[in-house]
Amino acid sequence: MIKLHQFGPAWGLTTTSPFCQKLETYLRMAGVPHQVVRERDTRRAPKGKLPYIEEQDGRLLADSGFIIAHLKVTQGDPLDGWLSPEQAAQAHAARRLLEDSLYWVGVYARWIDPIGWKGTEAALFAKLPWFLRATVVPLIRRGLRRTLAGTTRTRSTRSAARTSTRSATCSATSPTSSASGRVRC
């Protein structure tokens, strides 16, 4: 049976990570038998991120998108096999919107925004020994702040994150926005 290595649950979700949630949901909906292994860190992960899967022969495979593509080839494609080329292209565009754009707004909201961070800290780190909370956690946040500053769409400010969410959502639902660059929808 496939082992799915992913971050643990919080906020009523089976995992805190959107990419883990995506893969777990795919496995469940496609009826792929699997066992969830809860991970705390990413050091064993082939690409340094979660999720990854461990196949029956011990092979490790990383990246939710690659894993799903691999499973479609090896186990069939019960969920998307019926899509027309046009529908598959639309699904791809929606996926890119969620994963490359809105995901980063979520990262900002959870890890950087002072109000969001209070909830994240309470949910994920309340039980961590104080010295780890004082050393490792600020390092994680600093890394994420740097990553966010490197993305073109989301800077580390609340108004930028809000504008990014609106403009990404609007461009998906309506191809026109105002000439002034202000987002109206």
Ligand X SMILES: N[C@@H](CCC(=O)N[C@@H](CS)C(=O)NCC(=O)O)C(=O)O
Q: Residue from 14, 42, 169, 171 that binds ligand X (CB under 6 A)?
A: 42
Listed ranges 61-69, 71-79, 122-130, 161-169: which one lies at the site for ligand X (CB under 6 A): 61-69
CB of 85 to ligand X, least distance (A): 23
Per DSSP, the three-state class of 103 is helix
What the block records as the tokens of 170 is 């609007």
Listed ranges 47-55, 79-87, 126-134, 174-182: which one lies at the site for ligand X (CB under 6 A): 47-55
> Rounded to whole angstroms, how far apart are CA atoms 38 and 15?
9
What the block records as the tokens of 140 is 């994680």
Does 15 help bind ligand X (rule: CB under 6 A)? no
CB closer to ligand X out of 72 and 177: 72
Does 158 help bind ligand X (rule: CB under 6 A)? no
Does 49 help bind ligand X (rule: CB under 6 A)? yes
Question: Residues with Cβ < 8 Å from 21, sequence gap 6 or more?
Answer: 13, 14, 15
Amino acid present at 156? S
Per DSSP, the three-state class of 60 is strand
Listed ranges 15-23, 79-87, 90-98, 177-185: which one lies at the site for ligand X (CB under 6 A): 15-23
CB of 179 to ligand X, least distance (A): 35
What the block records as the tokens of 72 is 């479609």
Listed ranges 60-68, 112-120, 160-168, 171-179: which one lies at the site for ligand X (CB under 6 A): 60-68
State the sign of the Cα–Cα–Cα–Cα dihedral 61, 62, 64, 70.
negative
> Rounded to whole angstroms, how far apart are CA atoms 150 and 158?
16
Does 64 help bind ligand X (rule: CB under 6 A)? yes
Q: Which residues bind ligand X (CB under 6 A)?
A: 17-19, 42, 49-51, 63-65
